[in-house]
Each structure stands twice: as structure tokens, then as C-alpha cells.
Amino acid sequence: MSNALFPIFLKLRDRRCVVVGGGAIAEQKLKSLLETGATVIVVSPNATATIQQYAREGVVDWKKKIFEPSDLDGALLVISATASREVDELVYRESERRGALCNAVDDPPRCHFYYPSIIRRGDLQIAISTNGKSPALAQRLRRELEETFDSSYEGWLEWLGKVRELYFNSPIESGTRVRSLHHIASRTVYERFRESRAARLKEASHG
């Protein structure tokens, strides 16, 4: 049976996501979910000060209790961060019964998906996975790529998006549009953009 992973970026806004556990690792995992606009439910008798603050602010729904299978009803995605193999097994099994995707932290056999190492530059995201074989390698590659894709890519992508919108709102022949959009996404145009950006920043610092 193939172990190949299917790479995908999910839209989780308003989707029900359950985090079982209330410790530091659970806090770390739920932060990435909150960034997507997901509806996050935390199930744990105890929680970090940050999770408790989120609950008071209504950012997450904290169920201060021991995990029960019914906590997963309606969930699309589940994170088990309890440091208990018994609980991980129960959460994974109940997720499977409901068709939910489960990630049991540091427990690959009980994962439907893995968290990749990610480089973020605004709307640009580059995800790196080793299929669970070497998170250390994924982290090393992320550090190397962070140097290649520096902060200038965030502004460049914003500019590319605006130009693309202008092209699609103009009466331009389809083939010409495609060629033009590929050209402006080229490294040559990027280098000119970065040089112009650097010059503007230098001018502003001297002004």
C-alpha cells in the first residue's frame, strides 16, 4: 500500500476543529487553527493561561472536562495533544468512526495528516514534509528556504495579485494574458521589484 501523502491547503474558516488537551503543545497547535478562522473547541480538564484567556475572550470554546467521544461530533479536523497514548488511541479511533481527520502529536500511526514545516511570507506559504521520517530535515530545509524567500516576497506577491486582477479586468486575449502573467512572475521581474523596494527603503531612511 502506498504511503504517498496528498499535499493540500485547507480552508477552515467556520469549520469545527477540536483540540484534545490543554497544555503548551495544544496551545501551539490551536494558534495555527485560529489563524485560519476555524471554530476551535478545546477539551481538557486543565488549560494553559493563554488558552484560558482565549476562552474568556470567546476565541475558543473550552470544555473543561475529560474527553468523551461525543466531543468530536461534527468535527472536520481533530488534534490530540494529551501525552497519553490511551487517549490518543481513543481520539484517533473515534475520529475515524466520524470521518474526521486526526493528528495525534508525536504519534505517527495515529495521524491522518502531519504538520509540515512552513515558510510564510504573507500569502505565500511553502510547506515541507518528509512523511514523518525526519522532522529535523524538514526544519533544516525550512531554514535554508527562509533565506532564499525573504520578506520581499510578501510585497511582491501583493503586487502580483493586483496586476493579475487588472489583467483579468481588461479586454486582453487569453493567450497574451497567460504569457504576460508568467513574465511578471519571473525572477527577472522579481529582481527589479526587489531593487526598487530596496531603493525606496533607503530613500525613506535618509529622509
9 assigned to some structural domain: no
146 assigned to some structural domain: no
pLDDT computed for residue 207 by the predictor: 63
**Residues 105 and 165 occupy one common structural domain:** no
Domain boundary among 115, 130, 160: 115
pLDDT computed for residue 46 by the predictor: 96
Q: Does pLDDT of 18 surpass 60?
A: yes
142 assigned to some structural domain: no
**Residues 97 and 30 occupy one common structural domain:** yes
What tens digit of pLDDT does each residue of 35-79 get? Answer: 999 999 999 999 999 999 999 999 999 999 999 999 999 999 999
Structural domain count, the chain: 2
pLDDT computed for residue 1 by the predictor: 46
pLDDT computed for residue 203 by the predictor: 77
69 assigned to some structural domain: yes
Lowest mean pLDDT among 15-29, 66-80, 106-120, 178-192: 106-120
> By residue range, what is the domain housing residue 171?
152-206
More confident residue, 138 or 19: 19
C-alpha cell read off for 134: 525526519
Q: Does pLDDT of 104 surpass 90?
A: yes
Domain boundary among 63, 90, 115: 115
38 assigned to some structural domain: yes
139 assigned to some structural domain: no
This prediction has a pTM of: 0.80
30 assigned to some structural domain: yes
pLDDT computed for residue 2 by the predictor: 59
- Residues 6+ positions from 31 with CB-CB distance below 8 Å: none
What tens digit of pLDDT does each residue of 128-155 get? Answer: 988 878 889 999 999 999 999 998 999 9
pLDDT computed for residue 205 by the predictor: 76
Percent of the chain with pLDDT over 90: 77
pLDDT computed for residue 200 by the predictor: 82
